Each structure stands twice: as structure tokens, then as C-alpha cells.
Amino acid sequence: MIRFIVRRLLQLIPTLFGLSLLLFIWLRRLPGGPETAILGERGTPEMRAAIRQNLGLDEPILIQYGRFVRRLIRLDLGTSISTKREVTTEFLQRFPGTVELTITAMVIAIGIGIPLGYLAARRRGRLLDHLSVGGSLIGICIPVFFLAYILKAIFSENLGWFPSSGRQDPTIGATRITNFFVLDGLMTREWDAAADALWHLVLPGLALASIPLAIIVRITRASVLEVLNEDFVRTAEAKGLTENVVRRRHVLRNAMLPVATSIGLLTGGLLSGAVLTETVFAFSGIGAFLADSISQRDYPVLMGFIMIIAVVYVLVNLIVDLSYSLIDPRVRVR
Amino acid sequence: MTIISGKKREKIDRLAELAAREEERGVSLWQDAFRRLRRNPAAIVGAVILTIFVLVAVVGPFFVPYGPTDTMGIREGVVRVGQGLIPGHSAEHWLGYDHQGRDVFSRMVVGARQTLLVGVVSTLIGLSIGALIGGLAGAAAGLGGRWGRWVDATLMRFIDMLLAMPSLLLAVSIAALLGPSLTTVMIAVGMVSVPVFARLLRGSMIVQSHSDYVLAATSLGVRKSKIALTHVLPNSLAPVIVQATLTLATAIIEAAALSYLGLGNPDSAVPEWGVMLADAQPWLGIRPALAIYPAVAIIITALGFTLLGEAMREALDPKLRK
Amino acid sequence: MALLEVDDLSVTFARRGQRAVRAVDGVSFSVDAGEVVGLVGESGCGKSVTSLAIMGLLPKQPGLRVGGKAVFDGSDLLQLDDRSRRDIRGRDIAMIFQDPLSSLNPVIPIGLQVTEVLTRHRGMRGDAAAKEAAQLLDRVGIPDPKRRLKEYPHQLSGGMRQRALIAMAVACQPRLLIADEPTTALDVTIQAQILELLKDLVRDSGTALVMITHDLGVVAGMCDSINVLYGGRVVETARRRPLFREPRHPYTVGLLGSVPRLDAGRGERLNPIPGSVRDLLPWPDGCAFAPRCTRRVDACVGEPPQLVLAHDGRSYRCVNPAPVPGLRPTEEIRETVPGEAEPGTVPAQAVPGDAPAVPGLGPAPSEEETP
């Protein structure tokens, strides 16, 4: 188990180096460097050169890369060109919002998706089955940002049930510790702050959950249908076990295997969806900041953020693989 | 020649014949799948949607009542955005005007062609690059021995890198690199699906490489490159084709997302549903229909591809074959 | 009164837009307490469906119809509600299946799969249940049972898995055990061991056993009485010795003739039954076996053959049965019938099991899919 984790983490290192090198070269080929973003079209060639020299962009690209790697080993991701703050600081301030949003979406998707998929399979061919299969098809086909707009228009602008933007009502004046607003509220016992932050998460969470929810419903349904036909379910029935035990211990547990795999893969897509959802709900996560950084050519921010996201993605999949080996003893982690 | 154990040799005798008949079997597999496809109502619905969509996209633009860029509403003074006046449907303008006084129906029809183009071209980009990488890796991993495993591992690390980047971020940075345009959108959306195709084809080819008919062909002394091309590849294509159909749906949706982020075609002379949807956002309060028409069109088209793709997957799934 | 009395059991699968398939068509047989009864026939003759129908384990699907009676200990199993049926299953009637690997849940340890029966029917929990489970594993001949309890099915060998399944089946000392092809998926030497184990278990506990098999070697070694099934009906019923000595139904004769024998000369050919299970005539049109029968006469076709009750308590469903002084001298048959399933003498399968399957079930006849 430990060896498996260590090996997977070691495997991560060459992937990260490859990714960073590719990114590095690629980003610096983007037309218009940070000097254009800072000076606009007005700057004289001398001013441009000065800025480039100041940022160290005049040196050969491999030397720049070497410097980047040396800093990276000390976990120093550099300073943002546009905000002049540490990339790590920027990240720690914004990423919790995206994580909160992603976790909310995943909780919604798993919490509704698995029971719904299971019920659809048990009532195969009945109304509930048709509704959930049809609904999940539409869920896959609806553009996330459009769904976000519809939810916002109906539930916040027309009905006024939910706030339409932001992560928390600033007038609450909540204390910040981790920048996970819900967590902060719980830690400082500012219950109203936590509740308000949760309330702000509902609509964007729902919008973001649409695609993973649809996929989890479909995979759960298909997987349960397959497991219901397995011989060992018949054995369980033949033992006279109650329906409840057959269902939980024998059907659901086996049906969860493909669902667990898909959850890991869905996380990558969620981060993309989060960028769109954050934009619609003016939700301050990494989404808008990343989009700005691209147009500003803020190389350190882009490099740093993408690298961290890649690490997070790999870690999530590692956790999924580990949990997989917990559900399925046949998968040995070595 | 590979050294083969006694048990395997028995198998080979039985399977040599099978390998000889492989081609014939392949044909009947597709015929069989097509037969089951025709019986599936979901496939029929999907096919009908797509036929209408393709028909509109190909022929429609020749028959539209107005030019898609003609700002007649402003010229005639019927559309006054400043006063919140964007008239809806009428006998002359079936879907009304947009905020620039253009005929929405004409734009929808012409937009169908652009949307189809974006979907098909970006899927083809993803499919060809992904299939090339995945096919090489799969052939190398399945048949290439030690050196092949190395090739496979290298290619797959590259794919892992692509996968580790959030797809939209990948698309956004490509778009930033190339500047906003229709080509950008197509390349960006295509690149996002590269790892999916690569992994799928590789996985499928590795499974096929371990199958009995490959063993039989190897034992008969067929060259490895020939086995890969004539046996393994054709039999691995089914999931890739299914995935391509499904990708057409996501490509259209993702193109819309890029347009929404302002990376789509800035030239609004060539309407595209994603751009229309993005353009309509500021006017949601005045006339939500401007967003709803392209959104519904995108959803229905994506639904058509998804229904057909899923039905194809079911039809080709040997487990579901009874 | 018999322990289990199956009377005119019929099972029909109807699929939308297709002709209904009658997998079991009026099967009747009885099992006395402590008796070993064989249900024998080729793949697709309806023997597995019969057992699943008795257990109430046929997959619930629209178009499934089960008719007739299966009276166990005075109550008709087919009329019971779900709750009482679950109470009986595993406690009074237990079942062993063909493929031990797929019949065990791959993701939970063997121990839990044994103790869950004990918890359900005997209210045992915790250490008591674990101890009893270890004893059960020990009883079915699994060495080092305490360690095995913590292992998963994939860590056990095929024979061990089947032993574990048997342990679960006998956990509550059921009065009736149904074994559906329990040895088919196993190696020949393991087959013999498992059969010995089953024989010992039923002898020691007085459990009645219904042995479902296509393997006449199994039948010869174990069964007190035998029912031969064809096309979803019982075509011949007899005690073991008379059946092997003087088979009356031509199908039984054919089954016996297709068993390879050690004492046969090298040049001598086997006598396989021509055709396959698919070539059957619907019973209302005559004898289902007629298309493959070597003793066919005109009277075979037209109406279904009557069940003939012979003077010695045997019965068969044939208008032109094999004459009593058999096709071969009776002495010879008695000698060649494999006795206690010694390695090497266990006969091969009568017909390879290639019949298409009803979804979720073992093979069943399905003329609708024959092109």
C-alpha cells in the first residue's frame, strides 16, 4: 500500500517536469508578452526591453526554465506579474472557493446520482427509469453556463430564493482562516457565516453538478443492472437474506466499482466547468483569475496554477485508485 | 516464431481457422450491430434529429428568407435596443429580430452549418491525432515487446500530461495562442478530445492483441505490423467510432462554452449557435428567446449525437448481445 | 408424504413480439426425506429452470409465468409471499450452484458470506458466528478455516470455492439441498472429491438432495432415484439400478450410449444421440424427442405420448420403449457404469452445452433464436 503510494507519487515527478517544460515553452510563444499587457500599445521598444530584462525574460528560455525549476524545488512559484503578490498566496486565496464549489457539485452529483441510478435500475422500464435516463441525457447535452444562467434567472432573480453572486454576504463580516468559507464559519462558530456561504454554493453547485450527476446516474444504473444478473446475487437470494442485505452488501457494493472510477475521471472535467460557473455567478475562485492571467500573460501565475491543478488532479485519481482497492479486494495495490 | 506452450498450441489449432475467417466475421459483426441499431427507438430518434440537422445545415442556407447579416431591424427602426425593443416572432420574421436587428430564423439556419462544421472538424482533429498516438501506443504495447512497452509508456505519459490539464484551460490557452477565431475554436476543442481517443484506441488494441486470433496469426508467422494493421486495428475501431459520435455532441457544447468566454469567432457575419447564445446573454432580461433558440438547438443536436452514439455503443457491446 | 412434491410445474418465458418459450412443461417428481434424487438431461432440457422455479429465484421479468405446484412440507412454495419464501430459503431448502467463482461475491470475505446465513436464520452474531463458520468450513474439508474466513473468493482454488458454497448451503442443516451441476466447472479429480463430500453430508445429516446434472457418472454414483428430462418434461423416472440396467425411454438409452466406456474396444465408436436439443418437436404435436429418436414410429407424432407406469414402479413417456432385454446384455452395462466416480471413468458430457440462454439463467431451449 505505502509502496504503491510512493511509486505513484514518484511517477508524478517526470509527468510534472514534462508538463512544466511544455507549458514553459508554449506560454512564452504566446504572442505579446507581459510587457504589452503592462504598457499597452504605447510603450517604446526601450521600455519594453527594460521590463523584459527586469522580469528576466530576455535570457535564453532554458536558463529561464532552469531558474523556474530551482525555485520549484523549494516550492517557490514566484511572484505574479500583475498583482505583484506571491503566486502561492494568490492560489491559496482563490483555490478554496473552487474546491468548495467542486466538492459541493460532487456531493450533489454522488448524493443524488447513486440513489437515483439504483432506483432507476430496480424499476427498469417504469416511469422513474425513463425520467432519470431522459433527464441524464439532457443533463449531458445542456451547456453548463446556460444552465447556470437559467438557474440564476429562475431561483435567484425571479424567486429570490438564493443569492445570485459571490461566495458570501460581505456584510456578515466573517473571520477568514483557511479561505474555505464554510469551514471557517464552522471553526469560528460563526454559524450564520457558514450557512450563508453554503447558501451561496447551492446554485453554482447545482449547475456544475449537472454533467457529473447525469454521468453518475447512467453509470450506476448500467452497473446495477449488470450486477443484478450476476450469479452471486442469486446465491445471496438463495441464502434467504433479506432484500435489504442483498441490496446493500451484494448489489450496491459491487455496482460501485465502475462508479468509483468515473468519479476520478470526472474531477478533471469539474475544474473546467468550475471556470464557467464561477464566471456566471461572479464566484471568486481560480476561474476568472486564470482567464485574466492568460490575457495578461502572467507567466508565473499560469505556470503555478496549472502545475498545482495537475498535482491535485493526479492526487484525486490516486485517492480514487486507493479507495478502489478498498472496495475491490481483487485489485491489489503494489 | 514465438515459443508456445502445449496448452496454447491446442488453442491455436482450433483458432487458426478462426483467424482465416476473421474478415468475414468482422463484416457480420457490423451488419449485426446495424440490425440491432435499427430496432432501437433511441437510435431512430437520434438519426432523425441528425438527418434534419445535417439537411438544414447543408441545404438550408440556400433558402433562408433574409441575409444573416442584414441589420434590417435597425434600418427600419423596429429594433430599438436602447428602449428595450426587440420584436419577437411575426409572419415575416418567424423567430423575430436579434439585438442588431437581424432575422433570427435566417441566422439559426446559417448557424447550423457553422455549428456542424465546428463539431465535425474539431472531432476529426481530435480523432486523427488521438488515434495516431493511441494506435501507435497500442500496437507497441500489444505486440512490440520490451522496446514497444517503452514507446507506449512515453506516449502515454504525454497523454497523461494532456489529461492533467483541465480541458477548458487547455482550450483557453490554445485559443489565447492563436487568437479568437473559428479555426481556434475547432483546434482547441479538438485538442481536448485527443487524450480520450488515444486512451480508448490504445486500451481497445491491447485487449485485441491478447485475443486468440492474434495468437493464431502470430503462430502462423504473420508479420507484427501486418497483424496490427489488418487484425488488431479494425477490430479495435468500434469503441472509437462510438466515441467520435459522442464527441460530436460535446464538441458542439464546448465550442459554445469557448464562444461564451469570448474566444469564439469574433466575426459575427458568420453566425454560429454558440456565438449567438453568448451574444444573447446581455439581452436575457428583454428577450430571453434570443438565448433560448440557439440553446435549445444546441441541446437537441447534442442529444441527437448522444442518442445515436449510445445506441451504437449498445449495439456493438458483445456483452449485451443475446 | 414426500418432503417435496413437484406437480405439473411449468415455466413460460414470453418476450414482447416473440413466441413464448416453454422452458418447463409439466414436470412432476417427488423427493422423500433423506433421499437423493437426480434430475438428468442435456443442457436446455429445463432442469436448472425447474430448480430455480422451486426456489423462487427466477429473475423477475415481465412475461414470466410459473404454473403448477411445488409442495414442500405441506405448503406450496409457489404460492408463498416473498417474506416467507426468504425464511425458507437457506434454512429449510438450500442451493449449490454450478460456477463457484461467479456464485461468490468477489468483494466481501468468505467469512462474511458464511456468517450472513447464520445471522439471518440462526440469529448468530460476532464471535459465535465466526466460530460456527470456521467449524462449517472445517466440516466441508477446508484446511486452516480461520485464515480462510478472512480471504476473498479469488484467493481460493476452484474446489475450495465450491466447498465454501457448500458450507453456506449446509449452514442451517436444511432438510433439502438442491445442487445445480455442482461439479461441472471443476477438474475431474476435484469433481470426485466434491461428490464424496456431498454424499457424506447428506448421509450424516439426513438431508434430502436433488442433484441436477447432465453427467450420468454423477447420477450413478449418488442418486437413489432418477428423473430424466427432455424438452421440459420428465420422460423417464426410475430407481438407479433399474434405470441403468434396463433404460426404457430411447432418450435414456441414448444418454447411456453416449458415455465412453473403458472396456470398449479401441475401434468401437461412441453412440452419440444425433441432432441437438434444439431439434425438438413441441410436446402437443407429439414426442419432443421424436426428431432425434432411433425407435421412432408413426404413433410418436400427432399427440403427446402418455406416461406409462410400469409394474415395478417405474414410469416412462414413450409409445415404443426399449425392450427389457436391453440393447446390450445387462451384465455388461452393470459393469461399465462408472461406480464411485473414479478418475478416468467419469463420462464426458453428453452434448456440449451450446444452447442459447434465457437471460440471467442457465441454458434453456429457445427455438425462437434458431435461424
Give pLDDT tens digits for B42-96: 888 889 999 999 898 888 888 877 777 777 777 777 767 667 677 777 777 777 7
**What residue type is assigned to position C163 of the chain?**
R
- CB atoms A231 and C107 under 8 Å: no
C-beta separation of A87 from A304 below 8 A: yes
Query: What is the CA angle A242-A246-A250, rounded to 5?
Result: 160
Residue pLDDT, tens place only, C47-91: 888 999 998 888 877 788 888 888 988 888 888 888 888 999 988
3-state helix, strand, coil in chain A (%, to 5): 75, 0, 20
B180, three cell numbers = 479568437
If you count residue pairs, one on B and one on C, with CB atoms under 8 Å apart, how many are there? 3
Top residue of B168, B172, B305 to mutate, by most chain A CBs within 10 Å, is B168
Look at B172 and A19 and tell me if their CB atoms are within 8 Å: no
- Taken as a whole, chain B contains a residue count of 322
CATH fit for domain A87-327, picks 3.30.70.20, 1.10.3720.10, 4.10.490.10, 1.10.10.10 = 1.10.3720.10
For residue B26, what pLDDT is reported? 52
Contact A140 B299 (CB under 8 A): no
Residue B94 included in any domain: no
Specify the amino acid at residue A133.
V
Q: Which three cell numbers stand for residue B247?
A: 464527441
User: Which residues sit opposite C179 in a β-bridge?
Assistant: C96, C211
In a domain, B6, yes or no: no
CB contact under 8 A, A254 and C106: yes
pLDDT tens for residues C185-201?
778 888 888 888 888 88
Residue range B286-294: mean pLDDT, rounded: 83
Provide the number of CB pairs (under 8 Å) joining chain A to chain B.
107
Chain A contact for B253 (CB, 8 A cutoff): yes
Q: Would you list the DSSP string of B281-322?
A: GGGTTT-THHHHHHHHHHHHHHHHHHHHHHHHHHHH-GGG--
The CA distance from C75 to C77, in Å, is 6
Residue C118 has pLDDT above 60, yes or no: yes
String of DSSP letters for A65-130: HHHHHHHHHTT---B-TTT-SBHHHHHHHHHHHHHHHHHHHHHHHHHHHHHHHHHHHHTTTSHHHH
Distance from CA of B35 to the nearest CA of C (A): 15
Q: Where are the domains of chain A?
A: 87-327
Distance from CA of C17 to the nearest CA of B (A): 12
State how many domains chain B has.
1
Please list the residues that pair with C4 across neighbouring strands: C31, C72
Residue for grid cell 442433484: C211
pLDDT band, very low/low/confident/very high, at B146 (cuts 50, 70, 90): confident
Give all chains having 3 or more CB-to-CB distances under 8 Å with chain B.
A, C
Q: Grid cell 531558474 — which residue?
A: A67
C-alpha cell at C227: 428423473
Q: Is residue B61 part of a domain?
A: yes
| Predicted local confidence at residue C357, as pLDDT | 34
ipTM, two decimals, is 0.77
pLDDT digits over C145-196, tens only? 889 998 888 888 888 898 899 889 888 888 999 998 888 877 888 888 888 8
Paired strand residues for C94: C177
Q: What residues of A are in contact with residue B302 (Cβ under 8 Å)?
A: 140-141
Separation CA B189–CA B118 (nearest Å)? 9
Could you tell me the residue ranges of all domains in chain C?
99-171, 283-358
Residue with cell 409471499: C81
Cβ neighbours of C359 in B, within 8 Å: 322
Q: Which residues of C touch B322 (CB under 8 A)?
A: 356-357, 359
pLDDT at residue number C347: 28
Residue of A nearest to C103 (CA): A232
Which residue does chain B place closest to C359, by CA atoms? B322
CA dist A213 and A231 (Å) reads 29
Distance (Å, whole) CA A267 – CA C268: 68
Question: Could you give the CA distance from residue C341 to residue C255 in angstroms, rounded to a whole number?
Answer: 17
Is position B1 within any domain?
no
- Residue B251 in any domain: the answer is yes
- CB of A129 closer than 8 Å to CB of A261: no
Q: How far is C323 from chain B (nearest CA, A)?
A: 42
Using CB atoms within 10 Å of the CB of residue B67, give its burial: 0 to 12 exposed, 13 to 18 middle, 19+ buried: middle
Residues 344-363 of C with CB under 8 A from B: 356-357, 359
Look at residue A43 in the predicted model and tell me its pLDDT. Answer: 67
Residue B185 has pLDDT above 90, yes or no: no
End-to-end CA distance of chain A: 6
**Which residues on neighbouring strands pair with residue C316, listed in sequence order?**
C236, C308
Q: Hey, which chains touch C, using 3+ CB pairs under 8 Å?
A: A, B
Cross-chain residue pair A275–B168, CB shorter than 8 Å? yes
Question: Which of B161, B288, B303 has the CB atom closest to A141's CB atom?
Answer: B303
- Inform me whether the C-beta atom of residue B303 falls under 8 Å from chain A C-beta atoms: yes
How many helices (H) and strands (E) chain C has is answered by 11, 12
Distance from CA of A193 to the nearest CA of B (A): 31
Kindly report the CATH number assigned to the domain that includes residue B176: 1.10.3720.10
Inter-chain residue contact C107 with A242, CB threshold 8 Å = no
Q: Which residues of chain A have pLDDT under 50?
A: 333-334
Residue C268 confidence (pLDDT): 65
CA–CA–CA angle C91, C95, C99 (5° rounding): 145
Q: Which chains touch A (3 or more CB pairs under 8 A)?
A: B, C
What percentage of chain C reaches a pLDDT higher than 90?
5
Smallest CA–CA distance, residue A258 to chain C, in Å, is: 13
A contacts of C108 (beta carbons < 8 Å): 249-250, 253
Of B158, B166, B177, the CB nearest to A30: B177
Which residue, among C64, C103, C170, would best test binding to A if mutated, counting the most A CBs under 10 Å from its CB? C103
Q: Do C57 and A237 touch (CB under 8 A)?
A: yes
pLDDT at B29: 67
Contacts of C327 (CB under 8 A, 6+ apart): C253, C257
The average pLDDT across B119-140 equals 89
| Inter-residue contact B93 to B105 (CB < 8 Å) | yes
Q: Minimal Cα distance from A311: which residue of B?
A: B164
Residue of chain B whose alpha carbon sits nearest to that of C369: B322
Mark out chain C residues that contact chain A at CB-CB < 8 A: 55, 57, 59, 62, 82, 85-91, 94-95, 97, 99, 102-109, 112, 116-117, 120-121, 152, 154, 165, 168, 359-360
Contact B261 A279 (CB under 8 A): yes
Sequence letter at residue C363: P
Question: Which pLDDT value is given to residue C329?
Answer: 36
Q: How far apart are CA C225 and CA C241, in angstroms?
A: 9
